[in-house]
Chains A and B, each alone.
Chain A
Amino acid sequence: MENVIIVEQLSKSYGDLVAVKNLSLSVKTGSVFGLLGANGAGKSTTVECILGTKKPDRGSVSILDLSPIHDRKTLFENVGVQFQEAHYQEHIQVGELCEVTASLYKNPTDYKNLLVQFGIADKLKSPVKELSGGQKQRLFIVLALIPNPQVVLLDELTTGLDARARRDVWQILSKLKDSGLTILLTSHFMDEVEVLCDTICILKKGETVFYGTVSEAIKNSPYEKLEDAYLWYSDEEDMTHEDL
């Protein structure tokens, strides 16, 4: 299988603070890649460097063999992005946000179909801010899918959702994966990661502390659950203190 996203030796500092150090990763076509780590571990910086909204100090990034900085216009015809926070105008309606988003691309997919698929077609005329958390999150996935992308990047997509809404989002993502879409996501929730991700990378203070499959992550740790293994990888020091 071909690699869709390739990151090599990526480093990025803000002044003295090292946000990401020597990070390398590759995401295969049609797979789901999870970027994990505590707050401040460097997930967002990594995502921003991959997207080209931040310039890495060292290292290289390519998506679909293109550079996110130099080939921005071509690349983002095929890459959908969902940001951590919502970015939309105060009084905008669902339909308007979709329409404007579609107008940014050469060959957008019919957003009305997507809204139907995601069960929010009746919200076309509703102001975005009046949607529930789950509906908003589904809308943001719709926005990321409007370009008809080969790759999507989803930043903490289920943060703030209730259990039901999270399950719905997982189902949607599994379907998208089955249809051949490549997904890179960041997440705080290990249950979600276990269900969705083929490969994971755990970051701690900007460095990779684990890279591999979910089962390898569990196997290489003294635990049997991914959540325990994740905590073991990501805050080892605290655990040692507790053991003492």
Chain B
Amino acid sequence: MKTFNTMLKTELKLSLRGMDMLIFAICMPIIVLVILGVIYGDQPAYVGASYTFLEQSFGAIVSIAISAGGVMGLPLVISDYRGKKILKRLKVTPAQPVIILLVQITIYGLYALTSLVLLYLIASVFYSFRMQGDFLQFLLGWLLVMVSMFSIGVMVGGIAKNIKIAGILASLLYFPMLIFSGATLPYEVMPTAMQKAADLLPLTQGIKLLKATSLGLPVENVLPSIIVMVVIAGICSFVSIRFFKWE
């Protein structure tokens, strides 16, 4: 535990010094929230809807930090630390090398949590946002999406040959998901054909789950999304554990 805490403290400082996650996981979701707030204010999602457009988008915006950490932050830091032989160096100490992975997962989890809290506060205070659904259910959904996205990131970082390849893969995963899964550009304003394509992205399914739980819609409707999240988490975790390259 002493090792974990010291490492967490230091790695968190290093991560903040790097600035990237402050921008992509903390600032960017807030900017998207504010833009949607300025455009839609407290307008209903559609004529006769019982929730506002912004309430409908909340589930999507909270996924920005999850995907920034999961499919961008984690693959890069893991492959970087392998390239710098930091993982290998831990092998010649009494500590388990896996501890540094747990530390990184915790850090990106903290970014996602901070983003969630900030978004919730800003949306509540400025845009009369109310969580329509059960908060606990929403949190469970949020955790599931996080586990799923993070498992993709650990897998990519764990098996990518070097940081360059990890960077390319991370970009290929991150930017399409950011733009086309509804995290930034609302899914509801996309043409139907685009929505169908977007449905193929894992994050789109995650966002459907987050929207359903935050809006208090019946969870049965998003059962396929839940299954997709669980299956992705299962497969990626298995591949990570089986094929992870420590050096």
Contacts and interface: CB of A to CB of B under 8 A. Distances in A.
Interface of A: 51-53, 72-74, 76-77, 79, 81, 83, 85, 87-92, 96, 99-106, 147
B13 interface: yes
A103 B3 contact: yes
Contact of A87 (B3, B18, B86, B94): B86
Interface in B20-67: none
A217 B5 CA distance: 50
Interface in B79-106: 80-81, 84-86, 88-95
Given A85-B85, A89-B86, A104-B3, A73 B94 contact: yes
6 closest residue pairs by CB, A with B: A103-B6, A104-B95, A104-B93, A87-B85, A91-B17, A81-B92
Contacts of B136: none
A76 B81 CA distance: 21
B196 interface: no
A89 B14 contact: yes
B2 A83 contact: no
Contacts of A76: 92-94
Nearest to B11: A89
B7 interface: yes
Please report whether the interface of chain B is mostly helix, strand, loop or mixed according to DSSP: helix
A99 B94 contact: no
Contacts of B80: 90
6 contacts: A72-B94, A73-B94, A87-B84, A87-B86, A90-B80, A100-B6
Contacts of A99: 6, 10
Centre residue among A91, A101, A103, A105 by max chain B CB count within 10 A: A103
Nearest to A86: B84
Contacts of A105: 93-94
Please report whether the interface of chain A is mostly helix, strand, loop or mixed according to DSSP: loop
A157 B80 CA distance: 24
Contacts of B14: 89-92, 96
A91 B12 CA distance: 11
Contacts of A83: 85, 89
B156 to A, nearest CB: 20
A69 to B, nearest CB: 10
A100 B89 CA distance: 12
Contacts of A147: 93
Centre residue among B2, B10, B94 by max chain A CB count within 10 A: B94
Contacts of A90: 14, 18, 80
Given A99-B10, A100-B6, A103-B2, A87 B89 contact: yes
Contacts of B7: 100, 103
Contacts of A104: 3, 90, 93-95
A198 B188 CA distance: 76
B202 to A, nearest CB: 30
Nearest to B87: A87
Contact of B91 (A53, A79, A92, A100): A53
A51 B93 CA distance: 10
A199 to B, nearest CB: 23
A96 B10 contact: yes
Contacts of A52: 91-92
A147 B81 CA distance: 22
A219 to B, nearest CB: 36
A26 to B, nearest CB: 20
A202 to B, nearest CB: 25
B1 to A, nearest CB: 10
Contacts of B247: 53
A99 B85 CA distance: 18
Nearest to B3: A103
Nearest to B80: A90
Nearest to B6: A103
Nearest to A77: B94
Contacts of B10: 92, 96, 99-100
Contacts of B5: 103
A147 B136 CA distance: 45
Interface in B183-221: none
Centre residue among B7, B91, B92 by max chain A CB count within 10 A: B92
Given A96-B10, A103-B7, A91 B92 contact: no
A89 B81 contact: yes
Contacts of A89: 11, 14, 81, 84, 86
Nearest to A84: B85
